[in-house]
Structure 1
Amino acid sequence: MTGYGALAAMMANNNNIEAFRRFSNLNVENILHMQAELQHLETVIHEVRAIPELNSFDRIWIDSPENMSEDDIRRIFERSRTLLDQYYRALLRTARINSLHRPPKENLELRRQWYDEESGGDQFLYGVEAGIFRDSSIEADMLTLGDNIGSKDALANFLSEKVVPFYHRFVGYRLHRSMAEKAFERTWEYRPETLVHAGNAICMLLSAVIPASSILVLFSVKSMGARLVAISMMSLVFSFLMNIIAQRRADVFMSTTAFAAVLVVFVGSANVMGN
């Protein structure tokens, strides 16, 4: 099987490799055209309403005025209703489309690899259609239908971008097999679910180690000035780690403040007990 049939089968069999264009510019331009036509219709209705001999429709629907037929006014309102419905549908549809994730860059590269391989797409497209795989300027206009788990998990995303490449370069390529499909025989897949589980394990470990190690450091330091410096440094480290793990800046700020407050309370309690 070749052509679009093979492309569809490849996308269906590989999670998150499917990628489609949003056509954002064309979609927004279409909405702007509808907005302009609605603006014109609204202006016409206001102008007709301002003419006494033509505004009887404003009180009785519809008493035909002298210089404008009943059908003329009805067509104006029917067109406005139809266009408003299309306009609102387009706005809501655009909001939903814009909420879909962009495909990861490595998945776009994988799709392009399949397209170039003789055992894959073998460059079956010509002309404008080939630009879907070749034109790098439209990558920002692509979307994926799959639920990109890694994009919701900051730590999993960090592991994917920073840790996995080093792991694969030195160890991973020996421990893991390449993908089964012939077109991807030189490609290794690290699934986002695995990275999320690894991130959860790291979070669990850090949540136990950081507070305990901080207390041990403060317990071993006797000088108050040195303790305050240690609190500042450990809070900085904690804030850095939270910046990787947390989803929002507010979470980083609040958790770091709470962490520093706990350490200050420990130092105060330790001084009282020592005295």
Structure 2
Amino acid sequence: MTGYGALAAMMASHQNIEAFRKFSSMNLENILHMQAELQHLEVVINEVRKIPGLNSFDRIWIDDPESMSEEDIRRIFERSRTLLDQYYRALLRTARINALQQPRKDNLQLRRQWYDEESGGDQFLYGVEAGIFRDASIEADLLTLNENIGSKDALANFLSEKVVPLYHRVVGYKLHRSMAEKAFERTWEYRPETLVQVGNTICMLLSAVIPALSILVLFSVKSMAARLVAISMMSLVFSLVMNVIAQRRADVFMSTTAFAAVLVVFVGSANVMGG
């Protein structure tokens, strides 16, 4: 069976593969239209406020307007209320939608693979709808509803993009089985949860090894000039590691500064004890 039902079932069983269009351009154009209409309504209200015979709404609202002009004013305000509500809702909704993540490229490729396979979607869409899978220009307009585990983990992302492809080409394809579905029988899945765990293990090891190794190096170096060079080099290595692990540049800067300060204190205390 192929069709939207089969596509929905596949996306439900592989939630990271789901992808939907935001229609960003249409949405923003709609907001711009509402903004323009509100701009005109504001100008009209300000102009009416200058007319002595029609500006009583500035002091008390007219519950029972006696003239058509006052009725027109009421309609203008009612329209502005309705439009403002729609405008603010659209802004907040757009902000929430834009905060959702874009699907990963490998997940989009997996979705396209299912669509192309005869045992999967078998290219069941026609015309404009097929562009959802074929048009590369809309990829930037796609979003996924599920937050990818490890998406905010810099080290997990580094492992996924740089290490896993190399690992798979060398030995991974021999040690791991391909996915169970027939449409994905030539595809291997490395789960993000596993990459996060591997990243946590690497962080634990590095946090223990780098400071200890740095102290051993400084302890074995006797010359002050050589120690300063060693501190600079080890701080550089530490900064490179933190650049992969840390979430923010400020974290890299602060942690590297603290690391270098600890090494300097160690050198100073070692000189005092040696003296």
Q: For 2:17, what is the secondary structure of its paired residue?
A: coil
Q: In the alignment, is the contact (CA less than 8 A) between 2:179 and 2:187 conserved in 1?
A: yes
**5+ residue gaps, structure 1:** none
| Counterparts of 2:192 and 2:154, CA distance in 1 | 12
Q: In the alignment, is the contact (CA less than 8 A) between 2:179 and 2:185 conserved in 1?
A: yes
| Counterparts of 1:60 and 1:255, CA distance in 2 | 62
The worse-fitting range, judged by mean Cα deviation, of 143-152 and 248-257 is 143-152
1:79-101: CA deviation from partner (whole Å, max 9, x where unpaired)? 11111111000000001001101
The worse-fitting range, judged by mean Cα deviation, of 166-175 and 247-256 is 166-175
| Counterparts of 2:229 and 2:59, CA distance in 1 | 78
| Counterparts of 1:45 and 1:70, CA distance in 2 | 12
Residue matched to 2:109: 109
Are 1:252 and 2:252 an aligned pair?
A: yes
**5+ residue gaps, structure 2:** none
Q: For residues 1-275 of structure 1, what are the structure 2 equivalents within 5 Å?
A: 1-62=1-62, 64=65, 68-275=68-275
| Counterparts of 1:254 and 1:55, CA distance in 2 | 61
Aligned-residue offset at 1:157: 0.4
Q: For 2:151, what is the secondary structure of its paired residue?
A: helix
1:8-36: CA deviation from partner (whole Å, max 9, x where unpaired)? 00000002100001111111111111000
Q: In the alignment, is the contact (CA less than 8 A) between 1:56 and 1:64 conserved in 2?
A: no
Q: In the alignment, is the contact (CA less than 8 A) between 1:48 and 1:54 conserved in 2?
A: yes
Aligned-residue offset at 1:151: 1.3
| Counterparts of 2:165 and 2:103, CA distance in 1 | 18
Task: Give the TM-score, by structure 2 length.
Answer: 0.98
Q: In the alignment, is the contact (CA less than 8 A) between 2:54 and 2:69 conserved in 1?
A: no
2:217 maps to a residue whose letter is: V
Aligned-residue offset at 1:65: 6.7
Q: In the alignment, is the contact (CA less than 8 A) between 2:156 and 2:195 conserved in 1?
A: yes
| Counterparts of 2:85 and 2:194, CA distance in 1 | 44
| Counterparts of 1:263 and 1:80, CA distance in 2 | 65
Q: In the alignment, is the contact (CA less than 8 A) between 1:55 and 1:65 conserved in 2?
A: no
Q: For 1:241, what is the secondary structure of its paired residue?
A: helix
Change in CA separation of 1:164 and 1:199 when aligned onto 2, cut-off 3 Å = same
Task: Give the TM-score, by structure 1 length.
Answer: 0.98
CA RMSD of aligned residues (A): 1.0
Aligned-residue offset at 1:60: 2.1
Percent identity over the alignment is 86
The worse-fitting range, judged by mean Cα deviation, of 223-232 and 51-60 is 51-60
Q: How many aligned residue pairs are there? A: 274
Q: In the alignment, is the contact (CA less than 8 A) between 1:150 and 1:192 conserved in 2?
A: yes
